[in-house]
Structure 1
Amino acid sequence: MKKLISNLCTQLESGNDLILASIVKSSGSTPRSSGSKMLVMRDGSIDGTIGGGLVEALVQKEAAKLFNEPANTVSFREFDLSNELAANADMICGGHVEVMLEHLPAEEETIAVFSAVNEALRSGKHAVLFTVSVDGSIKERQAVRPCCQLPGLQFAEEKEATRLLETALKSGTPVMENIAGALLTTEAFIPQPDLYIFGAGHVSRPTAELASAVNFRTVVLDDRADFANRERFPQAAEIHVLPDFKDCFAELEVNDNSYIIIVTRGHLHDKTVLGQALATPARYVGMIGSSKKRNAIYDALRDEGVAQKEIDRCYCPIGLSIGAQTPEEIAVSIVGELIQKRAGG
């Protein structure tokens, strides 16, 4: 989502209007869930996906028509994937999706709204977008940060807007309600979870690249500038060269949606980082190494007063058991475990 919103802003700032297609409702076994988005350009090219196949092709066709409509026109299309449509497209999944298509003009007001969303996601923060439509036309858009005071909305009172904002954040899917003759769509944009990779060696490099590709916001930390640099980690959101691994979490905002990987160059550094990592609310803490290394580090931490229940939070040896040998294969096993944890496993 972060890349799509960034591209959306780039296109608008370049003077190109767009069609933004969003799945606003879904049920059953559909290819993509509510909140999925796709951009359609005037030349028919797309960015993002709402599931591929026939539905995506039909949405592209509808988008081409919408370019001929006035700016800020909005259209809703429903697709039943459990009937003849799915059968004719040779689709094995079934269900129902509703797609909202918006004609976004390359105008200052529209650019400002989506730039606010883009900036929030870029900095790892949440954003919520209110879109008000009446009779097939967008009348109002507002992008807000959940932590801030809500702006005045023309079609909804603050109490009502706050309720919709909280519902969208909790569900992670668009919320649609008819209010005073207008359709108010509330969408939460959830930032990528932060993945802190301690160590910038041979395993870190493919792990950071693969994790970035599957929507983790990667932050690489090491005490060696020759390893922790933009040339080796071009996809990383942040790279930190530390004086050492003592107090290595001092400048980090680790929360319960953060992930930590410990792959430093030595047992002592791993122990130093792990002791600090277990004091954070991170959702996942993983450390590379053999069972022998793990047990030695765990014993040392227990001697220092770290509780066993905290030590039990650590995934070590790190990664799914797939027989990985090379750094690239180990990266696949690690990122596979991250995905599993993110999905609730």
Structure 2
Amino acid sequence: MESIHEILNEITSAKEGDVLATIIHVEGSAYRKEGASMLFKGNGKEVGLLSAGCLEADLSYRVQETRVRKTPQTVTYDMSAEDDLTWGNGAGCNGIITVLLEPIDESMFNLLTKLKRFLLNGMSVSMMKILFDDRNEVETLFLVDEQTFFGNCNERNLDQVKSALNELHYTNQKSGLRMIKPLKTNTYLHTFYPKPRLFVFGAGKDAIPLVKLASLAGFFVTITDWRADLCSKEYFPDADQILVGFPSEIIPRLQLTASDSAIIITHQFQKDKEIVNHILNIHLKYLGVLGGKKRIQRLLEGKKVDTEINSPAGLQIGAEGPEEIAISIVGELIQRQRIKKISKYEE
């Protein structure tokens, strides 16, 4: 998933010399695509990755230049030649990668703080950066919806930028560079999405690696169970939210949507049945239940339903034990997130 959420959590001040690096254009193949970001903090810490280690060493020098000059810059790396030793041992990535470096000054810090707030509230935010390479300047505008936007974009460009951003925001266009003729310069467009939500019903021991891996993979993970002694921060330090209560109490409060995923893993037939009955008519991105097809039929009492239930949950990789099963489930969750086709329930 996007590393922007981890990056935003690391940016705490405009006075720390932080520099944000973003891939804005890729020709050919590359380790990361347009929209991937990395933070170079003033204290030397690095958050995120733009490559498998091919670019970061050189980027660290460019970052220092950006800190000194206090202006944005773009850097292009040609990784296409298999015998090219420019970046070390012949990376051979077959791609040309353009990276935008931006110092986190007061203006940038305020914009990123607002972006973080909207993402935490579950809202998607589209962004356009107008790149003035001739004078090392960048104008930025963020769009939340047709009425809500913020940025440091010059008013003379506002109408054209808002029009392009609206198109990006509502048509799921690919991130990257685009020429907008009225602006007569390159622009970079990208949409940020809130963390996908995963609800794990059941706080048994096999839920522990599942919650940990899902959190590492970029999900906002909620673990819920009626047993307070199991459903606690002690056992689930990586969970974003811990809810203790019976399914009938908890599920109505969750406000589940078509972009959410859920895993039922209580290992108690009656509780699984209760949970399934409560969420069966809520169309989710993914619904997984441990156990085979026969158990699902027993849970449904033979009823035919429109909702897709993934059972047994997880990719069929022959997984055994809690850790391997967690890997298979998280793999399937990631696969489902990557599916571009929007279901009829999300239109």
TM bin, normalised by shorter chain, reads 0.7 to 0.9
Q: CA deviation at 1:218?
A: 0.7
Once the two structures are TM-superposed, the CA of residue 16 in structure 1 deviates from its matched residue by: 0.3
**C-alpha distance in 2 between matches for 1:147 and 1:276:** 35
Secondary structure of the residue aligned to 1:67 is: helix
- 8 Å CA contact 1:23–1:99 kept in 2: the answer is yes
Report 1:1-345 matches (<5 A).
1-7=4-10, 9-10=11-12, 12=13, 15-42=15-42, 44-69=44-69, 71=70, 73-83=71-81, 85=84, 89-105=89-105, 107=106, 109-134=107-132, 135-138=134-137, 140-146=139-145, 148-151=147-150, 153-154=153-154, 155-158=156-159, 160-167=161-168, 170-177=172-179, 179-180=182-183, 183-242=186-245, 244-246=246-248, 248-298=250-300, 300=301, 302=303, 307-310=304-307, 313-344=308-339
Q: Aligned partners of 1:110 and 1:183: how far apart in 2?
A: 20
CA distance in 1: counterparts of 2:257 and 2:222, whole angstroms: 14
CA distances 1:138-194 after superposition (whole Å, capped 9, x unpaired): 464444423643358424233641432431661352454455456543332111211
Q: Secondary structure at the match of 2:288?
A: strand
In structure 1, the gaps of 5 or more residues are none
* Unaligned ranges ≥5, structure 2: 341-347
What amino acid sits opposite 2:121 in the alignment?
A: S
Indicate if the aligned counterparts of 2:79 and 2:92 stay in contact, CA closer than 8 A.
Answer: no
Q: Distance in 2 between matches of 1:44 and 1:236?
A: 28
Q: Give the counterpart letter for 1:46 in structure 2.
A: E
Distance change in 2, residues 1:91/1:133 (3 Å): closer
After superposition, the C-alpha distances for 1:194-241 in whole angstroms (9 at most, x for unaligned) are 111111111211101110001111111212222222222222121212
C-alpha displacement of 1:286 = 0.4
User: What amino acid is the match of 1:150?
Assistant: F
Instruction: Tell me if structure 2 keeps the 8 A contact 1:172–1:190.
Output: no
Superimposed CA distance per residue, residues 8-47 of structure 1 (whole angstroms, 9 cap, x where no aligned partner):
x22x25x202221100011321111000111123454421
Which residue identity is paired with 2:32? R
- 1: CA distance, partners of 2:282 / 2:44: 47
Report the alpha carbon displacement of residue 324 of structure 1 after superposing the two structures with TM. Answer: 2.9
- Deviation for aligned residue 1:248: 4.0
Cα distance change on mapping 1:23 and 1:204 into 2, 3 Å: same
1:113 and 1:142 in contact (8 A); partners too:
no
Q: Is the 8 A contact 1:275 1:301 kept in 2?
A: no
Offset at residue 49 of structure 1 (A) = 0.9
Q: Which amino acid letter does the alignment assign opposite residue 332 of structure 2?
A: E
1:53, CA displacement in angstroms? 2.7
Aligned residues: 330
Q: Which amino acid aligns with 1:267?
A: F
Residue 111 of structure 1, CA deviation: 2.2
Q: TM-score of the superposition, structure 2-length normalised?
A: 0.85
TM-score scaled to structure 1, two decimals?
A: 0.85
Letter in 2 for 1:157: L
Once the two structures are superposed, residues 33-74 of structure 1 have per-residue CA deviations (whole angstroms, 9 ceiling, x without a partner) of 0001111234544211111333222222211222110x3x11
SS at match of 2:248: coil
Q: What is the aligned-residue RMSD (CA, Å)?
A: 2.6
Contact 1:168–1:174 (Cα < 8 Å) also in 2 = no
Question: 2: distance between equivalents of 1:89 and 1:267?
Answer: 56
Render the CA deviation track for 1:100-121: whole Å, top value 9, x for unaligned: 111222x2x3322111111222
Distance (whole Å) between structure 1 residues aligned to residue 9 and residue 163 of structure 2: 26
Equivalent position amino acid for 2:204 in 1: G
| CA–CA distance in structure 2, aligned partners of residues 121 and 54 of structure 1 | 30
Output the amino acid matched with 1:48. G
How far apart are 1:316 and its partner, in Å? 0.6
2:277 and 2:135 map into 1 onto residues whose CA distance is 57
Contact 1:324/1:333, CA 8 A, preserved across alignment: yes
8 Å CA contact 2:26, 2:33 repeated in 1: yes
**% of aligned pairs identical?**
25
